Chains A and B, each alone.
Chain A
Amino acid sequence: MTPASSTATESSGFQQTIRNVKMDKVGIIGVGQSKFVRAFNGSIRELAFEAFQEAMRDANMTIGDIDATIVCSAPEYDKQRSPSGVLAEYFGLNPQPTFYVESLCSSSTTGLRLAYSLVKSGLHDVVLVAGFQKMSEITSAESQERMGRGADIQWEAPFGTMMPAYYAMFAQGHTARYGTTSEDLALIRLKSSFYGALNEKAMIRKPLSPQDFKDPSNQLNNPISSPLRMRDCCANADGASCIIVANEERARALGGKTVWIMGLGSATAAVNLVGRDHFHGLAAAEEAARQAYKMAGIGPSDVDVAEVHDCFTIAELMAYENLGFAKPGEGVELIRAKETYKEGRIPVNVDGGLLSKGHPIGATGGSQVRTIVLQLRGEAGPMQVKDASIGLVHNIGGVGIYANVTILGRE
């Protein structure tokens, strides 16, 4: 044995000890997102590459640094069967392993949870989570048809269900219990439009005024499913996101930009609404939040900035309460007092949220994570929340069928 190799062996043994004893955190070292658009003029691999390219450059990595890839999307919009293989090839990530994960709109934070476990277990050092959706891949007629199959196709869909109607039933339940009004919900859209205008990756960037919600000829006020109007609903989009997750040793070797995963919570609830106990909040979100806070060792008042799953305005309002930012029934006070604006007590969706960014199913969670990572690094530009050090991501699949809550922090 040469002296050099002897040193390497000792060094490697030393590193191993450090990892087992102290270096056991998991961090996010790179984030990327494509622009979210109505119809991307290219293929899914090219769309996903936009986010991949940005994340790899952000992490200052090359393809040899990635040990495994998790690809996240909702398969009902994919024409390509098993897109993980296609993306891994296009990213130049063969022969590293790749696989596909799906939990509707929460797919890419489910991917993040799996990446954490792969890294934490020591199986891989660096794992890439690529979320994408090209919702324009299928025709709008096909999309309409899939809308009817959003939940329990055997026992609910034959009555003519669709996603806005499910969330509308929660809006109705919240209204009946707490007196929430359509005007309260419009305040959430107003905030979203204000920040959407600042986010160059957002699809809808036109600021709205309270007057826009009073004009009956404005299509934003068209009824969709009572009490929700068009203004309460997010729009389909094409988009991609990419998150690079690494163990502490690799993250520290890259320098000081790492944002650490402090808490992960994940829960489910019955698909068929007959399995739900109440209709004024999402039980799965409450449970996921409880788990994430416990793991992170923090409470709701410690969160400096949050991204919540505002697929509908009512969803953001319920998130305020399910995450403990407000007591049940008091979420409206937060938005009425502008406490969820950038300067408020708990800034929420100050990147415009799904309502302004658009909602490319498989990419959405990764986009939320990217926003929080940029916030914690102080790189969020005009959307920056001052001195943000702990951030939270609330990402929901279906109408609370799946819920992931992720808590991130800087050193």
Chain B
Amino acid sequence: MAAKEIDNRFSKFGTVSFTAFTRVNDFIDHLQRGRVMGTRCRTCGARYFPPRADCCRSLDSDMEWVDLPGMGTLLTYSTLSYAPTGFGEDLPYTIAVVDFGSVRVFGRLDRTLPAESISIGMRLKLEVLKLPGGNVSYEFRVAS
């Protein structure tokens, strides 16, 4: 019996991924090509980030991939001095929520940003991040 191909691409997301299987696995391919993408419902036009395979408004599952707007503003953040298991080597790091208008995005801030330069309302853009070991992620950087 031939072994079935297992599509566990999502296990490549972030420092430690806790999910291997999802119907939005193409998100990882888009990241690897340098794009952070969300989904849009072809039936009703609702936009989603994080991307979803299913639309709870139209109740359809007919989605297309769309790019996120280029620039956003920082809504809130926190810099961690302790970390859960598996993230200790990343310390200190800053998690944040950024508003991109049609969607908001949860992620990390560029770790080279000095603490005193971080302020709610600052303009940020999304950049793809390739991590050691082959994982992919994204982070927020100061818009130049």
Chain A interface residues toward B at CB < 8 A: 141, 144-145, 147-149, 152-162, 164-165, 168-173, 176, 222-228, 272-276, 279
Contact = CB atoms under 8 A, between A and B. Distances in A.
B78 A169 contact: yes
B71 interface: no
A147 B87 CA distance: 12
B80 interface: yes
Contact of A279 (B15, B75, B84, B107): B75
Interface string B1-34: 0000000001001111111001000000000000
Nearest to B48: A274
B76 A170 contact: yes
12 contacts: A141-B85, A148-B85, A155-B106, A158-B14, A160-B86, A162-B82, A164-B82, A176-B120, A222-B81, A273-B106, A274-B104, A279-B97
A159 B108 contact: yes
Contacts of B15: 158-160
Contacts of B84: 144-145, 147-148, 160-162
B107 to A, nearest CB: 6
A172 B96 CA distance: 11
A227 to B, nearest CB: 8
A165 B95 contact: yes
Given A157-B18, A274-B104, A169 B95 contact: yes
Contacts of A144: 84-85
B86 A225 contact: no
Contact of B76 (A149, A156, A173): A173
Interface of B: 10, 13-19, 22, 49-50, 75-87, 90, 93, 95-97, 103-108, 115, 119-121, 137
A165 B78 contact: yes
A141 B108 CA distance: 24
A317 B74 CA distance: 23
B18 to A, nearest CB: 4
A168 B106 contact: no
B94 to A, nearest CB: 8
Contacts, number: 120
Q: Which 6 A-B pairs have the closest CB atoms?
A: A158-B14, A148-B84, A160-B87, A168-B78, A274-B104, A153-B18
Contacts of A275: 104
B71 to A, nearest CB: 17
Nearest to A168: B78
Contact of B80 (A153, A160, A170): A160
A222 B81 CA distance: 9
A222 B82 CA distance: 10
B75 to A, nearest CB: 6
B81 A145 contact: no
B18 A224 contact: no
Given A162-B80, A222-B81, A153 B19 contact: yes
A160 B93 CA distance: 9
A169 B97 contact: yes
B90 A274 contact: no
A402 B49 CA distance: 22
Contacts of A164: 82
Nearest to A160: B87
Contacts of A279: 75-76, 97
A197 B12 CA distance: 49
Contact of A273 (B18, B97, B119): B97
Contacts of B81: 222-226
A159 B107 contact: yes
Contact of A148 (B78, B86, B106): B86
A162 B85 contact: no
B80 A154 contact: no
Most chain B CB neighbours (cut-off 10 Å) among A147, A155, A276:
A155
A212 to B, nearest CB: 19
B40 to A, nearest CB: 16
B106 A176 contact: no
Nearest to B80: A225
Nearest to B87: A160
Contacts of A168: 78
A311 B14 CA distance: 28
Contacts of B115: 226
Contacts of A157: 14, 16, 18
B50 A154 contact: yes
A154 B108 CA distance: 15
A274 B49 CA distance: 8
B97 A274 contact: yes
A142 to B, nearest CB: 9
B104 to A, nearest CB: 4
Contacts of A148: 16, 18, 84-87
